[in-house]
Amino acid sequence: MKIRTRAVHAGHHPDRETGAHVVPIYSTSTFAYGSFARGERLFAGEEPGYIYGRIGNPTVRAFEEKLASLEGAEDAVAFASGMAAISALCNTLLAPGDEIVYLAPLYGGTEGYFLETLTRFGVRVTGGKSVEELPELISPATRLIYLETPTNPTLRIYDLEAVARIARARGVLSVVDNTFATPYLTRPLEHGIEVVLHSATKYLGGHGDCLAGVLAGPKELMEHIRAEGLRHIGAALGAFEAYLMLRGLKTLPLRMEAHCEGAARVAEYLSAHPAVQRVHYPGLSAHPGHEVAKRQMQGFGGLVSLELESKQAAALFLDSLKLFTQAVSLGDVESLATHPASTTHQLLPPEVRQAHGVSDALVRLSVGIEDPQDLIADLEQALDQVAKALLRSR
């Protein structure tokens, strides 16, 4: 089935007891297993079934099945947040003395977890900035290669096939955070990547009303992560949140089309504005990753980043916006705007932010599904305020 059909039907089975067409919210912490013998088999993993909400739930399982179908994965495991998914992955697969290699930039929370938390437990963390240098970064201790594409917040594009080829040749697990692209625009597993990760809070849910995370990949690996990373750490997704995720995924293809259309229009407008120093958007032909993005993406996404003259100009621009809400996160149906250096990436050292291109003048826009003409009008009046302030200062 095509992806729009799978977004609606995958993981969806009318309830056998009641005939309910929408997956019910199974609001229970525990499940009766009926007999001593069956309980023993269930807890030993010898028989499929539900035993405790921290390990599995029918509503959550429907979300996992739908996401696995959309990504083309054998299986998926859901978590309470994107960071919970990342930490469960690393805590399951990494031991003291192991190494994780990542390609920058990353979401500030992810990079902070790598540099501040993993290192405290004896994991070596190595960062790079290009696929070309990746073979030199990998050592005998490397267990994971981790990257985003497009990256947060500078929207760099990494060639997934090239990364996967290097990882396979060196026997290293490749992991891609696909939050920005979603499975509607990019399916990393089709390019040879082994594990895909989402902060499902963003585009997968799509309405800014719940937190969730998910990993998808080989069934055996997902079962291992469920048994250890989920069962032991306990960052389980709730049934109500899974229900909201199922609702959101049904309209993911339609929403992504609107996000992409609006972002393309916004990027074109900003590129021509004299107050804007630089625009980061992979759909622009001038973007250094444009050709790779064309090859591995079905569209160019709903995120646009722009650089103004200074931090003060960025602050004035943000404070002048009316339709764009100043807030972190992204992927909502409503347009959002934020200043990464002082919000999502604030805890990173200034020199690290600068090295990643997260300057004090950078603004990240999450373009919603509103009419692009209205969004451009809002950007125009905000940029007019910036232009007037620049004239006064000169």
Q: Could you tell me the two tokens for 279? A: 């625009």
Task: Delimit the domains of the chain by residue range.
Answer: 3-250, 253-393
Q: Grade residue 297 by pLDDT with cuts at 50, 70 and 90.
A: very high
* DSSP H helical ranges for 172-324: 182-185, 219-225, 239-250, 252-271, 290-296, 311-320
What's residue 236's pLDDT?
Answer: 98
> Which position among 26, 107, 146, 281 bears the catalytic label?
107
**50 catalytic, yes or no?**
no
Question: Is 107 an active-site residue?
Answer: yes
| Catalytic site residue from 202, 226, 353, 364 | 202
Return the pLDDT at 370.
98
Q: Which of 177, 332, 360, 378 is catalytic?
A: 177
Per the model's pLDDT, the better-predicted residue between 247 and 349 turns out to be: 247
Whole-prediction pTM: 0.95
pLDDT digits (tens, 9 = 90+) for 65-122: 999 999 999 999 999 999 999 999 999 999 999 999 999 999 999 999 999 999 999 9
**In CATH, which superfamily holds the domain spanning 253-393?**
Aspartate Aminotransferase, domain 1 (3.90.1150.10)
CB-CB contact of 285 with 271 (8 Å): no
Q: What is the DSSP string of 15-83?
A: -TTT--SSPP----SB----SHHHHHHHHTTSS----BTTT--HHHHHHHHHHHHHHT-SEEEEESSHH
Catalytic annotation present for 202 = yes
Res. 393: pLDDT tops 80: no
DSSP strand E in 74-207: where? 75-79, 99-103, 124-128, 142-148, 173-177, 195-199
Mean pLDDT for the stretch of residues 347-374: 92
Q: Is the dihedral of CA 300, 86, 109, 137 positive or negative?
A: negative
| Alpha-carbon dihedral 23, 27, 30, 34, rounded to 10 degrees | -60
| Cβ contact 100:172 at 8 Å | no
Sheet holding 303-307, edge to edge: 278-280, 303-307, 362-366, 336-338, 325-326
pLDDT attached to residue 230: 96
Report the alpha-carbon distance of residue 186 to residue 137 in Å, rounded.
26
Pick among 3.40.50.150, 3.40.50.620, 3.40.640.10, 3.10.129.10: CATH of 3-250: 3.40.640.10
**Active-site residue, selected from the candidate residues 41, 54, 170, 294:** 54
Q: Answer yes or no: is pLDDT of 280 > 90.
A: yes
Q: Is 54 a catalytic residue?
A: yes
